[in-house]
Amino acid sequence: MSEQTLVNAPEQSPGAPAPTPTEVFGGKEPAAVPAEPPAAEPTPAGEPAEVTVDYRALYEKAQAEARALADAAKAADAEVASFKSRLAEMEVSVLRHQEAARVNLPADLAARLKGETAAEIAADARKLAALVAPKPVTGKGGLEPDAPAEHDPEAITRRIRAISF
């Protein structure tokens, strides 16, 4: 079998780089060049016919593979963007829970903290902790805060004299 070469292709030395498709097709895009089937050459009797290559079919197959790869790359990019946004949400959630634990907020209130940065979340956690912090119990009077208040002055006097004397 003889070796096939491209028509009008520039000769190149074995060490030279391969020509680009634009160079091979005379400055035109490969899709703009009409596909011409190779001319069938009559073969002398007894010799096997030379195998013809359907370059148009090979080109279309390569284009389809390139489109499939481009679609797969777009899908992968969309998936990466989705994962990046989920990661950012999780990082903010972890910051909220850490800050809530630092200022002794209940875990249920950690999700209510606002902000996207650590400083914003910390400021909001301090504000919320001030609102939620238990207020000191003032009591009803006397030494025992839970003891019932006495409003009878004579009873208070008797109790004080019993303790003092």
**Rounded Cα gap, residues 118 and 95, in angstroms:** 7
Which pLDDT score is estimated for 3?
46
Alpha-helical (H) ranges within the chain are 21-24, 55-102, 107-110, 118-132, 153-164
Please list the ranges in the chain whose pLDDT falls under 50.
1-9
How many angstroms separate the CA atoms of 89 and 29, rounded? 46
The predicted pLDDT at position 40 comes to: 54
Please report the pLDDT score of residue 87 as a whole number: 96
pLDDT of res. 52: 81
d(CA 144, CA 91): 48
Instruction: Confirm whether pTM is higher than 0.75.
Output: no
pLDDT of residue 68: 95
